[in-house]
Structure formats: C-alpha cells, structure tokens
A = this chain, B = another copy of it.
Amino acid sequence: MPQLLKRLAFQVGSVPNERTTTFTSISNDGHHISLRPLVNLNSTSEEEFPFEWVFAGLNTGVRVVPISEGVVEQDFNFWLDTNCYLNLPNTHRGEVKTIWTQWDSGSVAENGEVFPNGPDNPGVPFFELWHPLDPNRVEQVLLNDPLTTAEATKARSIVFKVREGQGYDGLVIVTGRWAQGFLSKQGDATVDGLNFLRTIELEDGSREALVLYGSDAEKFPQEYLGYESGAHVEVHGLKWDVIESN
C-alpha cells in the first residue's frame, strides 16, 4: 500500500529533536521520496538551502530483510541525494543499513548508522521516529485505527520519472492527496540545480503547494488525473514517464 510517513523525532547524539516538517512518500511499488524542509531557519546556510536533506530512491535501491515479528532491516542505496549532489563534506556515501521496529502505538522506530567520515572511520548512530498519516486526508491524520487504515490502503499511487537524455533527474510520487517531487539538473552540483515539490489536493480538488522550490519547479507535473502506467507527459519542455499507477 502507498504510505505517507511523518517524522516525529530525529536523534543523533543524546538529545532528540524535530526541526523539520518531514514526510516520506512511499509508492505501492516501493519507490520513495523523503523531503525534509526546516521549519525555522537559524543560519545563513539554512537560509541558502532551507532543507535538512532530501533524497529519492527507486524500489531497486532498497533491500528489505525480515528480522523478527515487527522488525525489518531496510538497506538503502539512494538514487537522488542532496548531500551527494552538493558534494557536502562529512556526509555519508553509499548504502545505509537501517532497522525498523513497529511500536504498539502504530509509530515505527528507525535505527541506523551513517559513516560521514568514510567507511573506515567510526560510524554515527541515528534514530528516527515515524508515524503513518492517512494520505487521503488534507490534515495530518494519524493512521492507527482499522477504519482509516482500510481506507488508506486504497489510496492513489502514481510515480513519474524524468525520461533520460534531457539533462535532468527527477521523480514525483503521488500518494493519495499528497505529492512530493525531486528534480535536479545534471552537472550543476549547486543549490541552483535543485528543485522540490510538495503539494496537497484540497477538498475542492485544487492543489496547494506546500513546497515549490527551485528555478525549474514549473517542470514538475502537478496534475495527476487519468495517467496509466506507461503514459508520459511533457511539462514546460521536460518529458516525464509514468512508471507506476494504480
């Protein structure tokens, strides 16, 4: 089923916090985008790039290994990653191993370790707490009763991917009313080449942009009705293929 996970807490070191409005969209087929905009900007670098991190991955980049009841290992090789794109020093490269533990409350705890100083140096453990939201709702409705869960399993799941050979990489994932997108210009390696999208379909069918970032953001598909898998659409000169649609 498509999922819209909201991050409740993030911890590196001894003190948890949550400075972002982070949502991870996961499509039916397991493609994913995690968009992590900061709520308040406390430094010049945060004003220049108001995101903690953004990444996107295809289902071919995730390996899921059941560990025990309610516990799975998920190993990620991201496709698009702002840390890599911007060549940020002291940030992790390559596969990230994570353990996901289901709590009775319906939240899911993620524990992992990153190696910002390379695989030969000590790693840094991190903890993230997530809770599924009902992707069919405009508000942030926590998903943990059978009624809303049943409705949520039938949510729309559509994935657009930029067609190769145009000088861009990009992915848009639509889960229910929520859409998130990552679009980067190849070879730029600065914040000027990055574009992000978060929209929500309101009750009247119109779309509100919660995040519309970057000079190429107009190239994101923002209408999602009637697309079958295998279809394509051109938006302001950029061709996108529909690689999944339920």
Contact = CB atoms under 8 A, between A and B. Distances in A.
A129 B16 contact: yes
A129 B19 contact: no
A103 B139 contact: no
Nearest to A18: B105
Interface string A119-143: 0000000010101001001011110
A148 interface: yes
A17 B131 CA distance: 13
Contacts of A175: none
Given A9-B8, A129-B9, A20 B139 contact: no
Interface string A14-40: 001111110000000000000000111
Scoring A17, A39, A129, A140 by chain B CB atoms within 10 A of each residue's CB, the highest score goes to A140
A105 B37 CA distance: 11
Given A8-B131, A9-B9, A9-B129, A17 B139 contact: no
Contact of A39 (B8, B9, B18, B105): B105
A16 B110 CA distance: 11
Interface in A151-196: none
Contact of A103 (B18, B127, B137, B140): B18
A144 interface: yes
Nearest to A42: B104
A179 B201 CA distance: 32
Interface in A97-127: 103-105, 107, 109, 127
A107 B9 contact: yes
A6 B166 CA distance: 47
Contacts of A139: 134, 137, 139, 141-142, 148
B109 A16 contact: yes
B141 A19 contact: no
Contacts of A20: 104-105
A18 B140 CA distance: 20
Contacts of A109: 16-17
A139 B93 CA distance: 40
Given A9-B9, A129-B8, A129-B9, A19 B103 contact: yes
Contacts of A131: 8
B140 A17 contact: no
A107 B6 CA distance: 12
